[in-house]
Amino acid sequence: MNKLLQRSSLAILVSAALSACMQDTNTTTKKVETPAVQALSAKDADTFLTNTEKELVELGLVINRAEWIYSNFITEDTAILSAKATQKYTEAGVRFAMEAAKFDNVEVSADQRRKLNTLKQSLVMPAPQDPAKSEELAKLGSQLNGMYGKGSYTTKAGKKLSLGDMTSTMATSRNYDELLEMWEGWRTVSPEMKPLFIRQSELANEGAQGLGYKDLGTMWRSNYDMPADDFAKELDRLWGQVKPLYDDLHCYVRSELGEEYGEDKVPQDKPIPAHLLGNMWAQSWGNIYDVVAPENADPGYDVTKQLAKHNYDEIKMVKGAENFFTSLGFDALPETFWTRSLFTKPEDRDVVCHASAWDLDAKDDIRIKMCIQKTGEEFNVIHHELGHNFYQRAYKNQPVYYQNSANDGFHEAIGDTIALSVTPKYLKNIGLIDTIPDESKDIGLLMKMALDKIAFIPFGLLVDQWRWKVYSGEITPENYNTAWWELREKYQGIAPPVNRDANAFDPGAKYHVPGGVPYSRYFLAHIQQFEFHKALCEISGNTDPIHRCSIYNSKEAGTALNTMLEMGSSQPWQQAYKVLTGSEQMDATAVLDYFSPLQTWLKEKNQGKQCGF
């Protein structure tokens, strides 16, 4: 989770200034005689789309290379090159949109219409038509990325720490004050981002409004083959299905933290302090498993320790994840993946360590960029990132317009679907453990999984809830931080451990906010992955309980998965969904089925406790 997917060349049209196609250009009342314009035809549309596709591939390669270099060598020069490449792509986007708009009233085939609409709608940060504003928006994006990537904190003891250093401490320390210092320290980086974010939001909103949308949030919600308002309602419906399970988990975890740190620090009738959950953003809680683990539920192994025992270095970890996909029948990764990816943090320069998967040429040049830490959590993250890469390669034969996932949640879900198969059975198969624990240990394993998966779901929802309100104007700059914590309390039952200044910019401490990356995809992925896993387990002929199923080595499951992946975005996501699950509607009951034994256990443990927040 929490990975920035580097998209194909068309998908990074996200920053294109497509507003020109919707602007009212009738700025004078003077009548001007113009020559008759020959009516456009479907043949003209075909010519336009063919030529544009070639240019998209060429431009995409240029900007992807510029972004790759910038992310791996953060300097003023690479920032300028990145901004210039983005601006060039942005300006091309204006031209593509203007041309595509000319075919709005032309009778074309369904395939042509989908491609034309994709040109106008594949957006994330649309710039206004003004070239100066387009350049400014591109520069802001590079500046914000650089500020996050270079972010560091010098401790009270005088030691300079990177985000990676601090997140490692957050994961392992049980010292209340040390955790608080790390939590506050990282949030000293983001306030300087606030004025840049404000301006970025203003420019992107202007671009979205030029396209005919009320605001940028409305535009983001319009990219799911359904009306924007319906999409928002769909997320609420899915959250409503999962919320009772989350509430049970929250109640239990708060009680255990109260015992660990004292109820004076963790009151049992208030939200949980955000720095005690093992994660810099309290978005996943798996790192505090040792604090909240059920009695006698230890499966007898620790993946991090097993990786060390079996001499897994960073490359071997990636090779292990690749092996999962090849066991399903997918081809091995190309040699260029191994020579061009970044696997470890360089000691001699600043890089963006945020894990990401890249497709540079819309064909075969796929890579990952990670500062890998040799932990069980990172082993799962690598599976996730390779899920992006195998998806990218599966749809490489689609026209560039369709070289993307059916919806952005699909891309995030695929790797995590594979990770759900990283069960004790799988770990034994690959030699990391010697024996498979019996079902009496399932509660512990499900608890560990829920601390990551279920704990994340409300966070996955609220990040964009906050931004949608920012873009609509409901949340104003002076209320950014207050509104952020109101949403975190409402959905997560989490609160800041100390009073926060209203001028702080805590949302900026999360990469995807200054990075301008929509976040609803991660919420969707946490619903979709369980549906995909359930469907693939059924296809593989699994007879184990769903939470014990691994599709490792199932060519049948691999074939079914690849059939969906190869579709890319060539059809509405509902059609791709149906290929694998048999239904066109998402359903969170697969999540409840997976965690059913744990929820029963949680309800028993929570009897007599004061739950809620």
What amino acid positions are annotated as catalytic residues? 354-355, 384-385, 388, 412, 512, 522
Going by C-alpha positions, the residue among 103, 112, 107 that lies closest to residue 46 is 112
Q: With contact defined as beta carbons under 8 Å apart, do 101 and 21 qualify?
A: yes
Beta strands in 163-260 (DSSP E): none
Helix (H, G, I), strand (E, B) or coil at 559: helix
Which residues is 5 bridged to in the sheet?
A: 357
Q: From the centroid of its chain, how far is CA 267?
A: 32
Distance of alpha carbon 581 from alpha carbon 507, whole angstroms: 35
Distance of alpha carbon 475 from alpha carbon 463, whole angstroms: 13
Q: With contact defined as beta carbons under 8 Å apart, do 436 and 425 qualify?
A: yes
Helix (H, G, I), strand (E, B) or coil at 369: strand
Longest dimension (CA), the chain: 86
DSSP H or E stretch at residue 383:
helix 376-394
Q: With contact defined as beta carbons under 8 Å apart, do 545 and 380 qualify?
A: no
How does strand 272-273 pair with strand 160-162? unpaired
Going by C-alpha positions, the residue among 145, 253, 192, 183 that lies closest to residue 492 is 253
Q: Could you tell me the two tokens for 414?
A: 């695929």
Spell out the long-range contacts of 315-319 with Cβ–Cβ below 8 A and sequence spacing 24 or more. Answer: 315/343, 317/372, 317/374, 317/378, 317/379, 317/382, 318/343, 318/368, 318/372, 318/382, 318/386
Q: With contact defined as beta carbons under 8 Å apart, do 582 and 575 qualify?
A: no
Distance of alpha carbon 159 from alpha carbon 182, whole angstroms: 12
- Sign for the pseudo-dihedral over CA of 549, 551, 552, 554: positive
Which residues is 358 bridged to in the sheet?
A: 367
Q: With contact defined as beta carbons under 8 Å apart, do 292 and 256 qualify?
A: yes
- Residues in the chain, total: 613
The residues, ordered by sequence, that sit 6+ positions from 523 with a Cβ below 8 Å of its Cβ are 235, 238, 239, 409, 457, 460, 461, 464
Helix (H, G, I), strand (E, B) or coil at 367: strand
CA angle 375, 381, 387 (to 5 degrees): 145
